[in-house]
Amino acid sequence: MDHIKQIISKNVKVYGMVIALVGIAILFQLLTGGILLTPLNITNIIMQNSYIIVLAIGMLIVIITGEIDLSVGSVAAFVGAVAGILLVNHDLPIVLSIMICLLIGAAIGAWQGFWTAFVNIPSFIVTLAGMLIFRGLTLVALQGQTLAPFPNGFRSLSSSFLPDIFGGGDLQLFTIFIGIILSVLYITGEIRMRQSDRKYHLQVSSNVLFITRLIVFVSIINLFTYMLALYEGIPYVLIILFVLIIGYSYVMNKTVLGRHMYAVGGNENAAKLSGVKTRKIKFLAFINMGIMAALAGLIFAGRLNAATPQAGNLFELDAIAAAVIGGASFTGGVGKVFGAVIGALVMGVLNNGMSLMGIGIDWQQAIKGLVLLGAVAFDVLSKNK
């Protein structure tokens, strides 16, 4: 019992947001007459919020280091514009164009990271300037016009699905099979981690709690893949998100680089005295943010099937809100990748549910602002206790 209380106390905000996400989903499921959790709409929620999840992961890492990036929406729009020029106007190969766009994102991140980490200009000012610069460059690049359509191969990045190699007809059997494989991998990984903890005499949960957790997560995995299988199956963008979530969770939790990022955000002076290259860590965080903003811009452009000057509007606010709602703290040193994803889904379900109910964009913005304020207030009150 004490172990359970300890786990909950350490992750109170993440668990709170998971409960909030479930509660919001149930609420809108009732208010929309059962439309929210249909297979089609679940797929739409994933695809509509994929770029926000990508941005939220990058933003989380920047916030963990104690900084902020207000330019991600403009960077995403600029990279989308570059992709339009390369693919629509010049008909360059898709893979080459994507690589160029990601490199541009990295260069933008390095530019902003340089001013923040090495010149010591506050990231708020640097990225506010970046927001204006790259929004302006987007207008210059597109000359105020929209470029469309993109090649089908590029659009598949954000709007196509894995084919059903088993030929299941209305039910995507390949998606069901992937759900079973993921369940086996999850159970195997958890058992190995538990054995490793016991080997080094670390505290582990009771057998009952461990088995209960396995049953709950395996049920969620298979129910989720079953719902996807009832529509078109697994979108390609979901595979991208899965790789990012697993990869960044591993880096932040299991590597020296991840620990250094938490250390820099927790206490920069102490980290510096401990031998952590704090400037390099912040520089890398902004490079990563630039790459993630570029990827989000490519996904959004592919889904929209156009490069438009209005792209990326308010993306930075959604990304910051997702990270903070998911447990990140503006003081730095706190936050989890899983929490940022949950935060993005909370915002996504709110947007989708309110849209299904016909609530106007004005009230949607007001409600999202209240949710963000509530999340930050919860964080401050928890720390004061």
Q: What is the pLDDT of residue 164?
A: 84
Q: What is the pLDDT of residue 205?
A: 78
Q: What is the pLDDT of residue 279?
A: 95
Q: What is the pLDDT of residue 377?
A: 77
Task: Report angle CA 19, 23, 26 to the nearest 5 degrees.
Answer: 140
92 & 40 share domain: yes
- Provide the CATH number for the domain around residue 112: 1.10.3470
242 & 268 share domain: yes
Give pLDDT < 50 ranges for the chain. Answer: none
Instruction: Look at residues 206, 234, 262 and tell me which one is the last residue of a structural domain.
Output: 234
50 & 125 share domain: yes
CA distances from 141 to 84, 177, 210, 300, 301 (A): 10, 45, 55, 17, 15
Give the domain extent around 269. Answer: 2-160+236-374
CB 350 within 8 A of CB 24: yes
125 & 167 share domain: no
98 & 149 share domain: yes
Number of folded domains that form the chain: 2
Q: What is the pLDDT of residue 12?
A: 57
CB 285 within 8 A of CB 62: yes
Q: What is the pLDDT of residue 221?
A: 93
- In DSSP terms, 199 is beta-bridged to none
13 & 138 share domain: yes
